């Protein structure tokens, strides 16, 4: 069992985050995901070639270089094809997503859950607010043809409590962020503002492709620190800690997982998406062990939301708020 130390827990409570180096074995848990994504990219290329959207399969290139070329030729981020969540708008019956066995295995990784247990206890629910983030170098990143703006770019300053609905304000949501390859400052690693979680929930404003943003007039970023990480490192973030990502100014792709966990029975803040019991010491029979059932739960959610034909609110914020003017 990988135990959270008293010093690590105290750092989290005081500073609002804690970075644990080599918390999981990257060869055991991350390499299989990258292998799945390599096969997934083959399928994406097949579809794009069939649709006439790309003329070169770029088969000679390794996964990340090939992905960059595909994004450049299509002028799309193509990240949704690999994501294990759904977008917040425009969900169709065929919206792409990926719920492979290696991804599911990481969500249930015993070493990871041992650490999560140290924060929220042994009754652990995998919260569906989760994503893979694949950020190509900004020099090659797709742009809006009218405005020239990056289609993804750096993630804005925000709190994770701010991107869910109010019914989860009392939920003990724990953010778990980890890179699948090196995430240095130049690749666009995360930054956090230590002790900012003591300020409470701050006003967020809609802010384009970078997502919701806490304006600087609302909260200073003074004291922000960058957190370069290697595969195997895991960052745990309090739901009220102010954080963002830096721009990817390298010539390499940055890829990371952005996960959430909370105690079983508490609202997830995004209840139209399915979560699952990752660990229960009280009732182990409730744990989900079959990745096919996990996959099916997302397919069902996609069908339901696509059939509804309308976008649902995923947060509480409006651009009309005085702080957003």
CATH number for the domain whose boundaries are 9-307: 2.60.120.620
Beta strands in 161-228 (DSSP E): 174-179, 190-192, 225-226
- Cβ burial 109-126 (10 Å sphere, 16+ → b, else e): bebbbbbbbbbbeebbbb
Using the predicted structure, report yes or no on whether residue 294 has a pLDDT greater than 90: yes
pLDDT band, residue 147 (cuts 50/70/90): confident
Q: Where do the domains of the chain lie?
A: 9-307
For the chain, the average pLDDT equals 95
31-50 vs 63-74: helix crossing angle, rounded to 10 = 30
Q: What is the DSSP letter of 3?
A: P
Which tens digit of pLDDT belongs to each residue from 73-108?
Answer: 999 999 999 999 999 999 999 999 999 999 999 999
- Residue 8 φ then ψ, to 5°: -65, -40
Instruction: Calculate the dihedral angle through the C-alpha atoms of 65, 86, 166, 171, rounding to the nearest 10 degrees.
Output: -70
Q: What is the pTM of this model?
A: 0.96
Which tens digit of pLDDT belongs to each residue from 228-268?
Answer: 999 999 999 999 999 999 999 999 999 999 999 999 999 99
């Amino acid at each position: 069992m990988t135990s959270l130390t008293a010093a690590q827990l105290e750092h989290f409570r005081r500073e609002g985050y804690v970075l644990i180096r080599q918390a999981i074995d990257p060869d055991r848990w991350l390499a299989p995901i990258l292998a799945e994504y390599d096969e997934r990219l083959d399928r994406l290329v097949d579809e794009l070639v069939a649709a006439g959207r790309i003329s070169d399969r770029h088969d000679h290139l390794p996964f990340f270089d090939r992905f960059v070329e595909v994004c450049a030729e299509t002028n799309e981020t193509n990240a949704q094809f690999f994501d294990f969540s759904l977008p917040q708008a425009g969900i169709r019956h065929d919206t792409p997503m990926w719920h492979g066995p290696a991804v599911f295995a990481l969500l249930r990784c015993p070493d990871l859950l041992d650490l999560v247990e140290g924060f929220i206890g042994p009754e652990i629910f995998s919260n569906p607010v989760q994503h893979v983030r694949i950020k190509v170098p900004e020099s090659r990143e797709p742009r809006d043809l009218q405005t020239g703006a990056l289609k993804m770019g750096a993630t804005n300053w925000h709190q994770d409590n701010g991107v869910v609905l109010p019914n989860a304000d009392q939920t003990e949501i724990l953010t778990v962020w980890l890179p699948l390859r090196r995430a240095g400052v130049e690749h666009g690693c995360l930054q956090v503002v230590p002790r900012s979680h003591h300020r409470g929930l701050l006003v967020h404003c809609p802010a384009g492709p970078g997502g919701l943003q806490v304006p600087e007039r609302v909260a200073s970023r003074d004291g922000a620190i960058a957190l370069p990480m290697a595969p195997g490192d895991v960052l745990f973030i309090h739901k009220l800690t102010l954080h963002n990502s830096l721009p990817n100014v390298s010539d390499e792709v940055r890829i990371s997982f952005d996960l959430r966990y909370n105690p079983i029975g508490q609202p997830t803040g995004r209840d139209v998406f399915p979560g699952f019991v990752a660990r229960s010491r009280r009732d182990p029979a409730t744990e989900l062990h079959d990745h096919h059932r996990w996959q099916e739960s997302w397919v069902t959610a996609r069908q339901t939301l696509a059939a509804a034909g309308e976008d649902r609110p995923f947060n509480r914020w409006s651009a009309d708020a005085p702080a957003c003017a």
